[in-house]
Amino acid sequence: MILPAVVAYLAGLWLGLFLPLFPLSLLGALLSFGLALTCLEQRGSLSRWGGLLLFAVMVIGMGHAHWAAMSKLENPLRALLTESPVKVQGVIVAPVRQTPDGLILLVEARRIFASEPQAIHGRIRLTWREPDAALVYGDEVSVTTRLREPYGTLNPGGFEYGAYLQRKGIQAVATVSGPNGVTRLTQEPVTLWGRLMGRVDHWRQAIHHAASTSLSPPATGLFLGMIIGEQSFIEQDVRDAFMASGTVHILSISGSHLGLLALVVFAGTRWSVRRLPASWLERVSIYLTATQLAVVITLPIVTLYMLLAGAEMATVRSWIMIVVCSLGVWLGRERHLITALAVAALLMVLPHPEAIHDISFQLSYLSVVAIGMVLVFKKNKDPDTGSLENEELREAPSWWTNLREKGQLAWLVTLAVSLTTLPLVAYYFHQIPWLGLLTNMVIVPMVGILVIPLGLLSAIMVVISGGETLPFATVNQWLFDLLAQGVVGLAQVPGATWYVASPSLSSIVVFWGVLAGWVVLRHRRSIRWSCPIILVVILSWWAWSPRAHWDPGLLRVTFLDVGQGDATFLELPDGQTVLIDGGPAYRRLDMGRAVIGPYLWNRGIQRIDHVIATHPQWDHVGGLPWVLQTFEVGSYWSNGVSRSQMFYQRLQAAVQAVEIKEYVIGAGKDIMASGPCNLSVLSPPETKPPSMPDPAKDISGTDLNNRSLVTRLECGPHSLLFTADAEHQALEQLQLTPRGHSATIVKVPHHGAKSSLHDGWVKRLEAQAMVVSVGSHNRYGHPDSEVIAAYEARGIPLYRTDRDGAVIIQASLESPDLRIRTAQQQQFVPVALNENFWSQEWANWQRLGN
């Protein structure tokens, strides 16, 4: 009864988060669950008290999740989330993360000095760029900074970073730069746990320094990521290769990583013990069996690994599951391993019920469950394999038999982990890592047997000796380079990178249900063959990812939220697609990869007919290189201006790599004409700029903006004017152009900058709505208050991506009417218990469908 009760509680936790959004639907689901339990009772499959227990446990789980979610809404720092600097004193309550840009600290605020000192508690994610001091867990610090509510981009089906931080209990984010940005007040943590984790942080910093001194990329990033969990040092192209090859789980110290390492250490230890001389084996077996001795050796290694990874929540959860799994093996209760893992999951979510919606928890738990199911499967298939009484006395198998058995076990583990986590990987990362079924057979043994043990040994020797360099640096360099080269080579296999739309939740549930049915009922002939066929059909549908929600005769234009930048996607009635600009690309965040790609995949779009780079500025074309290299592109258009900056050189290299011809265009020319739709250029005048940039005489920002491509789309009764970064000079020319100051929808020039406020153009402007693409809390102060006031004075509705998220325009060729929706409007709204509660819940279901 333990396993069903835990499953019921976890299901209640998962459903409880949606209770404020779908109360009637969940009430109906709860009643249906009660009826199902009643039917089982009448059939004699379940006792009355058992049914009541399961029903009560689910209700309690839903209540627990709802209470936890409501408590997260209380933000003690809310009144301080302004643009005014405040002084904060607090304690670092998580391992310090090092990045190429600086340090990331999680600070528990204790005192705030604003207008007057006040005691307050709240968690702040603090980024310190260019730090001049080393900080560790438990340090009391002081910082003066601007506190802001956690934020990110907001797009249909996209990852909401701000909401993610809030679910983790972070109430504010802040950034400081330069020396003395953060002041350490005390150097000795107060609590015993703080002292332990502070010491571990010192170890991690010493290992980081030794590795950075002794290794070179890509080995440096792989060592830091795989040994001490500092993922930000892994180069993006290397990470992409691991993702394409289906081995990205190797990079993170999580459930699959810890689980596979524990399995390798456990199997290796038990195999070694069984090869001891008979006299030694008899003496050892008096106290411990080979299995128990393997557990004794495995747990300390995994624990050390967990600590060096920073003991973050996801890693600790994985460690707990492995400890429970090991105890089950120690007691010879492998058949009850799944029940033990369920109890472990319960223990993990009781203090943090929101963790059940966290991707790290889901992937870690599913990975360890998959490995546990393989062990149970092997145990049931060969009951004598793990017999504590006979395992030391059995005759050792031949090396070939042992190799074959280990190979079968490795393949089963790979298959189980890959199939179990595949729906989540497709949902969150938009990929089907099919190549992993083969590559993991090579990569996992290499990492588990060679790379990780040597890396851990080197790290431990740094801690013990206090040396400045990494022991066995040459061997580590060779192994990690070999790993990177091998994975990059495997990623070049045609079709290795298979991007898909996020599967629907219903199809994921069906996939897991069929997979579980095959595991439980595979002894039945019909189940043995029908379930794999159903799984193949589901996977084929996911892999196909047909174009969704496209309606011939419908025009759809989406102003994507890419932060402080521009990216607009056009879907024309005949099916052609156009991308105007690609947003910025930061060191660790490429808007092409993070926003444009997922949006297009979710709509089933694999080809972009026209890509337009309005002008070579980083916030407009930074994300285009990745887009050009990932999607099939028909033609590429630009204004012909060249620059010497690195982001532009990356763009040109991408254009050449995919062998796309660059078309230089100016005013008076058409980019495309498709039936009733026409996309033309209004500005700048067509000129022939120099083919090579002069690094000493780079074009000014104002000149670049005025030479950006201003385009106009006319499609039946509708028109849209895309003004790029046009400033005063370009707008002066546009107001003299018949079609340069009127359209159904007009994009506000240059993110609403004051330099793009032209009174004459604004007065002549005719539009039903305007859209400004701008990032939250940007350093430029966009959009300027005078610009906003000028458009408000004209009475034109203004949409902003920093507040509204992505803005979606839909219009039919057969009607002059259009529909404007925003990503913010598509956010779920808690249902108020009044006379309109049903219509409110139905609106949430409609948002879910969109």
Buried b (16+ CB within 10 A) or exposed e, 296-328: ebbbebbebbbbbbbbbbbbbbbbbbbbbbbeb
- Asked if 337 and 372 touch (Cβ cutoff 8 Å), the reply is yes
- 286 to 270, 292, 388, 642, 674: CA distances (angstroms): 16, 12, 11, 78, 83
- Asked if 402 and 379 touch (Cβ cutoff 8 Å), the reply is no
> Running DSSP on this structure, what letter comes out for residue 824?
T
Angle among Cα 202, 128, 192 to the nearest 5 degrees reads 35
Round to whole Å and give the CA distance between 544 and 604.
Answer: 9
pLDDT at 403 over 90: no
- Asked if 674 and 574 touch (Cβ cutoff 8 Å), the reply is yes
Closest among 392, 247, 391, 261 to 315, alpha carbons compared: 261
- Asked if 102 and 93 touch (Cβ cutoff 8 Å), the reply is no
Give the DSSP per-residue string, 632-659.
EEEEEEE------SHHHHHHHHHHHHTT
Round to whole Å and give the CA distance between 221 and 223.
Answer: 6
Q: 473 in the Ramachandran plot: left (φ > 0), alpha (ψ -120 to 50) or beta?
A: alpha
* 736: Cα within 13 Å, side-chain hemisphere: 6
Overall average pLDDT of the 568-589 stretch: 93
Report the share of the chain in percent with pLDDT over 90.
42
Burial class (CB in 10 A: 0-12, 13-18, 19+), 825: middle
At 637-675, the pLDDT tens digits run 999 999 999 999 999 999 999 999 999 999 989 999 877
At 614-633, the pLDDT tens digits run 999 999 999 999 999 999 99
At 536-566, the pLDDT tens digits run 999 999 999 888 777 788 999 999 999 999 9
The structure's pTM equals: 0.87
| Angle, in degrees to the nearest 10, between helices 313-330 and 359-381 | 20
Confidence of residue 711 (pLDDT cuts 50, 70, 90): very high
Name the phi and psi angles at 143, rounded to 5.
-150, 145
* 426: Cα within 13 Å, side-chain hemisphere: 27
> Running DSSP on this structure, what letter comes out for residue 716?
T
Q: Using CA of residue 199, residue 200, residue 205, residue 207, what is the dihedral sign?
A: positive
Strand duo 172-177 + 117-129: pairing: parallel
Confidence of residue 203 (pLDDT cuts 50, 70, 90): very high
- Asked if 357 and 68 touch (Cβ cutoff 8 Å), the reply is no
Q: Which of 132-141, 220-229, 478-487, 697-706 has the lowest mean pLDDT?
A: 697-706
